[in-house]
Amino acid sequence: MMTVASISKAAPGWSPSPFQAPLLRPAARPMLAQAVVATPSTPPGTVIVNPPTTPPPFVDSAFVSAIVAGLGTVAWYTMTRAFYSAERYKTAIFTGTLTGLLGIKTLFDIWDLRVR
């Protein structure tokens, strides 16, 4: 007569067959928008996903540039009005020119913001 004793767990490091993870999908059909690239280090059929491109930093964005240029336009316009009220016309013309240049830059930054 044979006695069978149940083993609660297998011995560590031993298994009846080597572990093979199941395929999530067939290797011959890549998912949408994924290019299949086979190199000497990757077997054929392996999907290598390119990392997504990072957006530009927030400080370099057109939104921040438009806000800063707009605030500069308001500041220079305020100085232009103050110099004009004080009858310092040459200085008012100079600051008015800078106001106009910053205003144009603000419009270009807003246009760049709408395009992207």
How confident is the model over 49-66, as pLDDT tens digits? 666 666 666 667 788 889
Higher pLDDT, 95 or 2: 95
Cβ atoms of 73 and 106 within 8 Å: the answer is yes
23-37, 48-62, 78-92, range with the lowest pLDDT: 23-37
Q: Residue 99 burial by CB count (10 A; 0-12/13-18/19+): exposed, middle or buried?
A: buried
| Residue 104: predicted pLDDT | 95
pLDDT of residue 96: 96
Tokens matching residue 83: 């110099």
DSSP-H helix ranges across 5-88: 62-85
The answer to whether residue 69 scores a pLDDT higher than 80 is: yes
